[in-house]
Amino acid sequence: MASSVAGLNQQVVSRRSFLKGALCGAGGLALYAGEFERHWLEVVKKDIGLRGLSAEFDGLTIAQLSDIHLDEFTEPFLLREAIDAINQARPDLVLLTGDYVSAQVLPPKLTVDAAWQCGKMLGSLQCRQRYAIFGNHDVWAGEQDVGEALKFHGTTVLRNSYVPIERGGSRLWLAGLDDPCCGQPDPDHAIPSLIRNVANESIILMCHAPDYVDQLRLHPAGQAASLVLSGHTHGGQVRLPIVGPLWLPPGGCKDVEGLFQLGTTQLYVNRGIGTVGAPFRFNCRPEITLFTLRSI
């Protein structure tokens, strides 16, 4: 009888030890994902060869910054660190691919305030040629408010529009779509026929949600783009070994992060620097991408 009681007590102690260890492990993982990896900024460098790129643009550098989500849960110091890293790299272009704030979390006024704070901070980017598109959260928050905050501080917003980038008498086209998930994307306005398939005039397209590229590949405008830059997915944000991302947003479920060759178009999906839903990143560091264009 005594041995049975002792055995039972030992089982209870073992169970308690297991639960205590599991809780400590979970707490440590949450601390790592919420405080360490979420703030562990990675600068990813990529050489990108573009078909038809004029030799004048060989070596052009582009910094991509995406999915800032200021104030949910991105603190200003993380955005400041990202801006400092970009300024240190001294790129020729800075491209901002959407979601400057998180909508439907804070009261609308505070969301607009966050947009203006974000716009002001982005104004400290030393590169004068910086361009932005909207993401789904910007649409929900109000594209007019977010757009005014960006433009007031010197960032040009491309909403179904395009601009020439000129160097040494040669030209590269930069186009931007409205958000495919919640906005009104118009490829014919972003990449009109007059700039499509012009010799030695490549087109780079900014499009927040990467899954939209499947539709673009069926459209003459999309077929003319050599490179598409997207964000939206956060790279999966929390990616478990074997299991992969725990959640992906609509419009970002296929190509989750990194560089993809889709027919004649290249797609790059940036992991962004912010988080949504919960202030955690695991196996998925926040990212700034530095591209160097190469003629091929």
Q: Residues 6 or more apart from 107 whose CB is under 8 A from it? A: none
pLDDT digits 0-9 by tens, 43-76: 999 999 998 899 999 999 999 999 999 988 999 9
Integer Cα distance of 151 and 131 in angstroms: 10
List the one residue out of 190, 177, 191, 189 whose CA is nearest residue 232.
177
CATH class given for the domain over 42-295: alpha beta
DSSP state string for 27-74: HHHHHIIIIIGGG--EEEEEEEEETT--GGGTT-EEEEE----BTTTB
What is the pLDDT at residue 104?
A: 84
H-helix or E-strand containing 161? Answer: strand 161-167
CB-count exposure of residue 100 (10 Å: 0-12, 13-18, 19+): buried
Integer Cα distance of 219 and 221 in angstroms: 5
What is the pLDDT at residue 51?
A: 85
Integer Cα distance of 25 and 223 in angstroms: 49
What is the pLDDT at residue 26?
A: 43
Whether residue 113 contacts residue 150, with contact meaning beta carbons closer than 8 Å, is answered with: no
How do strand 265-269 and strand 287-295 relate by DSSP bridges? unpaired
What is the pLDDT at residue 2?
A: 55
Structural domain boundaries in the chain: 1-39, 42-295
> pTM for this one?
0.91
Integer Cα distance of 108 and 19 in angstroms: 42
What is the pLDDT at residue 22?
A: 38
List the one residue out of 255, 272, 271, 160 whose CA is nearest residue 213.
255
Phi then psi for residue 46, to 5 deg, are: -135, 135
Local structure of 209: helix, strand or coil? coil
Integer Cα distance of 173 and 221 in angstroms: 13
H-helix or E-strand containing 261? Answer: strand 258-262
Whether residue 253 contacts residue 211, with contact meaning beta carbons closer than 8 Å, is answered with: yes
Q: What is the CA radius of gyration of the chain?
A: 22
Q: Sheet with 161-167: list strands edge to edge.
A: 161-167, 170-176, 203-206, 227-230, 265-269, 258-262
| Residue numbers in the chain where pLDDT is lower than 50 | 8, 12, 17-27
Integer Cα distance of 54 and 212 in angstroms: 27
H-helix or E-strand containing 292? Answer: strand 287-295
